[in-house]
């Protein structure tokens, strides 16, 4: 398995703030990138899935991939207390049946 680095936080922001979560990776062979949200003692919930470099937007969430820098980001606009969770980045090598490699997760708290 190839390494994925993610700052574990915790990150605490006021309600309404823009949140930026990031991961770096070392293996340029990673092709597919995901963000999962995990509430305490629950399973990871798929939030965003991207393939190409650039931005992908879904509501208040924007996923950004920069393959040249081996850097991915998740932005959350107008953050809400319900966004408080651990955010996991994950990536995989190709479109086949290959396993996900996860970052350690960043714990986010949005304070009302």
Partner 1 sequence: EPEVTQTPSHQVTQMGQEVILRCVPISNHLYFYWYRQILGQKVEFLVSFYNNEISEKSEIFDDQFSVERPDGSNFTLKIRSTKLEDSAMYFCASRSRDRNNEQFFGPGTRLTVL
Which residues contact partner 1 (rule: CB under 8 A)?
1, 32, 34, 36, 41-46, 49, 88, 90, 92, 95-105
* 87 touches 106 (CB < 8 A): yes
Q: Residue 4 or residue 76: which is nearer to partner 1 going by CB?
A: 4
**Residue bearing tokens 């995901």:** 34
Q: Order of strands across the sheet with 61-66? A: 4-6, 19-25, 71-76, 61-66, 54-58
* 94 touches 31 (CB < 8 A): yes
Instruction: In angstroms, give the least distance from the CB of 44 to partner 1.
Output: 5
Q: Residue 29 or residue 46: which is nearer to partner 1 going by CB?
A: 46
Q: Residue 1 or residue 82: which is nearer to partner 1 going by CB?
A: 1
Instruction: In angstroms, give the least distance from the CB of 15 to partner 1.
Output: 27
């Amino acid at each position: 398995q190839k390494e994925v680095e993610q700052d574990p936080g915790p990150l605490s922001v006021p309600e309404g703030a823009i949140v930026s979560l990031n991961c770096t990776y070392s293996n340029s062979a990673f092709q597919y990138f995901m963000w999962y949200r995990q509430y305490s003692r629950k399973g990871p919930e798929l939030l965003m899935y991207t393939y190409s470099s650039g931005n992908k937007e879904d509501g208040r969430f924007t996923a950004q991939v920069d393959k040249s820098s081996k850097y991915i980001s998740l932005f959350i606009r107008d953050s809400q207390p319900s966004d408080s969770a651990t955010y996991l980045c994950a990536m995989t090598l190709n479109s086949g049946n290959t396993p996900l490699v996860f970052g350690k997760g960043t714990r986010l708290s949005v304070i009302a």
